[in-house]
């Protein structure tokens, strides 16, 4: 059986309307993103750099006092200059160093392009396709986050702007890796967290293919994390949860679900390739110790899985 993933985060909103020009003119203020009605993340904002409304969502770029520029989509912090790029590095490098020949990679979502840029740090990758619904997120990110979007200029990169679910359902192509760099399971992204979509992904992977999906905070959203793990365990022979520290996300504790038709993320880790590439990659968060340690889970998460 498969579980239907709940698609509504509890009472998640900002205490301050960051587009208010009066607040921007008055100087610094505090922005709070509430997660469950009684707690949240709070950041001091020095100024609003850009605020726009795309066809799909509200997009804000702000300057925080402690983490530099930050990208906010639909009221949720996505990335910041000072977050050590933990999310993007962990989403990309864990599966790439677990697959012996990751030549063809597909990213669903990933509008800030940080995942794409990290994927292209691997010379073994011959093609990296990013299928993102909202072109405006990419354009805003190119203006304000050049380090994250550096991979867009790589000749191996291909950007497609369309619905990721429809794209996978209407193509016959197969990939070595598919990475789900999705926003929270609300709005257009909700269907991309369900078992039916995961089965489509399984069919679009090569016989030794790997899927990694971001699977929310095990602290605030353990029901979503566990339901995804259960759904994916009914589809893939290898399913393993791993985590990272991501300061701008709810609880600062984030999870990814590694799913493979063949390879184990620790047993098949390519030590020699890592040694060869480690210095050139210039990562801020990911290394070989983090790769192995990220699969160690606290007892409350183990019980839920």
Task: Indicate whether 23 pLDDT > 80.
Answer: no
Residue 90 tokens read as: 């962990």
Q: How far apart are CA 90 and CA 171, in angstroms?
A: 27
Task: Indicate whether 45 pLDDT > 90.
Answer: yes
Cite the active site residues.
181
pLDDT at 41: 86
Tens of pLDDT, residues 206-238: 999 999 999 999 999 999 999 999 999 999 999
Tens of pLDDT, residues 108-161: 999 999 999 999 999 999 999 999 999 999 999 999 999 999 999 999 999 999
If you average pLDDT over residues 101-105, what whole number do you get? 98
pLDDT at 28: 64
List the single range of 12-16, 39-43, 125-129 with lowest mean pLDDT: 12-16
Tens of pLDDT, residues 238-294: 999 999 999 999 899 999 999 999 999 999 999 999 999 999 999 999 999 999 999
pLDDT at 33: 85
Q: How far apart are CA 89 and CA 85, in angstroms?
A: 6
Task: Indicate whether 9 pLDDT > 70.
Answer: no
Q: How far apart are CA 158 and CA 149, in angstroms?
A: 13
- Please return the burial class of 303, using the count of CB atoms within 10 Å of its CB with bins 0-12, 13-18 and 19+: exposed
Same fold, 21-80 and 86-304: no
Task: Indicate whether 188 pLDDT > 70.
Answer: no
Angle at 284 between CA 98 and CA 217, to 5 degrees: 70
- What average pLDDT is seen over the chain? 89
pLDDT at 289: 98
pLDDT at 37: 72
pLDDT at 85: 95
pLDDT at 20: 47
Strand order through the sheet with 29-34? 29-34, 40-53, 58-64, 68-73, 76-80
If you average pLDDT over residues 177-188, what whole number do you get? 74
Tokens 């047993």, residue located: 267
* Domain boundaries 86-304, CATH class: alpha beta
Q: What is the domain partition of the chain in residue ranges?
A: 21-80, 86-304
pLDDT at 151: 97
Say what percent of the chain tops pLDDT 90: 79
pTM of the model as a whole: 0.90
Select the more confidently predicted residue: 195 or 133. 133
pLDDT at 191: 55
* 109 touches 132 (CB < 8 A): yes
Select the more confidently predicted residue: 16 or 190. 190
* 236 touches 259 (CB < 8 A): yes
pLDDT at 14: 41
pLDDT at 32: 86
Q: Does domain 21-80 have CATH number 3.40.190.10?
A: no
């Amino acid at each position: 059986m498969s579980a239907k993933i709940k698609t509504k985060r509890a009472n998640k909103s900002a205490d301050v309307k960051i587009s208010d020009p009066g607040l921007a003119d008055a100087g610094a203020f505090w922005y709070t993103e509430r997660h469950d009605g009684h707690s949240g993340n709070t950041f001091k904002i020095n100024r609003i750099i850009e605020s726009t409304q795309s066809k799909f969502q509200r997009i804000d770029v702000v300057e925080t006092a402690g983490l530099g520029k930050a990208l906010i989509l639909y009221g949720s912090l996505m990335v910041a200059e000072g977050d050590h790029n933990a999310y993007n590095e962990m989403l990309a490098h864990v599966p790439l160093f677990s697959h012996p020949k990751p030549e063809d990679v597909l990213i669903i979502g990933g509008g800030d392009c940080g995942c794409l840029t990290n994927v292209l740090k691997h010379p073994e990758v011959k093609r990296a396709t990013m299928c993102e619904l909202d072109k405006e997120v990419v354009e805003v990110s190119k203006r304000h986050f050049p380090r994250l979007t550096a991979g867009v200029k790589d000749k191996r990169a291909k950007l497609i702007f369309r619905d990721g679910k429809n794209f996978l359902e209407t193509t016959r192509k197969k990939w070595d890796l598919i990475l789900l760099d999705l926003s929270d399971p609300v709005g257009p992204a909700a269907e991309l967290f369900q078992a039916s979509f995961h089965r489509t992904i399984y069919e679009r992977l090569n016989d030794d293919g790997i899927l990694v999906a971001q699977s929310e905070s095990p602290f605030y959203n353990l029901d979503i994390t566990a339901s995804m793990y259960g759904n994916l365990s009914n589809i893939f022979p290898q399913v393993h949860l791993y985590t990272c520290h991501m300061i701008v996300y709810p609880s600062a504790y984030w999870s990814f679900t590694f799913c493979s038709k063949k390879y184990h993320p620790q047993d098949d880790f390519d030590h020699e390739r890592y040694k060869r590439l480690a210095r050139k990659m210039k990562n801020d968060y990911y290394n070989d110790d983090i790769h192995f340690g990220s699969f160690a889970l606290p007892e409350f998460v183990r019980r839920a899985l």
